[in-house]
Amino acid sequence: MSRSAVFLDEMGVGPLWRLRQGAAPEAVDVVADAAVDAEVAVAPPVVEAIESVTAVVTEVVVQVQTEAPAAVAATPVPVAAPDDTAWFDDAPPPPPARQLSDTDIAALDWEGLAAAVAKCARCDLCKTRKGVVMGRGDRQGAWLMLASSPSRLEEREGRALPGEQGKLLDNMLKAIDVDAGGDVYITHLLKCRPLDEAGQERLPTEAESAACRPYFERELALLQPRTIVTLGSMAAAGINPGEKPVRGKVRQLGNASLIATFHPEMLLQDETGKAKARAWADLCLAKSTHGG
């Protein structure tokens, strides 16, 4: 055992701390020399010698750690996997929404009815439509304006009778003192636009009309209008299947009076003015029947 080790052992300090790698021999010698000087100087008490040696050892350790920091192994960063969405193409399609029965539809409120129409798949029109067209206007209105099925413009805008058609209808109603913005509801018998294989508009089939009929009947039950004005020959024929519509005559649908007239789109194309004159007579008949 070295002299330094014996000296420290006598004082109860224990073995010297040594670095395993990269230890500077000069640092150990400094500790040893300091211990020898403390032995030669015999004057200080043992306690002071322990404090002195401890301070020297601490200073050397701090200096060694500062000059030779331990290397820290870098944690490898995982490489992000490429965005692969090929699985999406192979994923099974989501299950179709549960279709409501006629009884279910008959119990819907306005919001539920609109939601059901938006996701309806009761007939094949859901495969070709670009959108559905729900009715618009006053849901407590006494007047119901009824067309057959949406046009291309209505399908694109998702609104019944937009643009020039709607403006003309508003003016027609204003002429008989009916508030088009506050007492009128406008809708279609069908909520989707029927198209043939070439993408052209066509008449709805009986199956398509029957599939969509519960939606119209629910609108009618919620609205409870006093007067219904059908717009165009298809709407006049479709509202009471099997009954031949006659212009200039008042029919009944439940408690509502039913009057047929021309569709605003046809009136916009009328260059002679004859159709507009007849439409005016139809509206006057509807107003007198409605009363008020």
For the stretch 96-154, pLDDT in tens is 567 899 999 999 999 999 999 999 999 999 999 999 999 999 999 999 999 999 999 99
Q: What is the DSSP letter of 130?
A: S
Helix (H) or strand (E) holding 252: strand 251-253
User: Which pTM was predicted?
Assistant: 0.67
Structure tokens at 36: 């020898």
- Each residue's pLDDT tens digit, 260-282: 999 999 999 999 999 999 999 99
| E strand segments, 88-244 | 136-137, 143-147, 184-188, 227-231
Cβ-contact 194, 151 below 8 angstroms: no
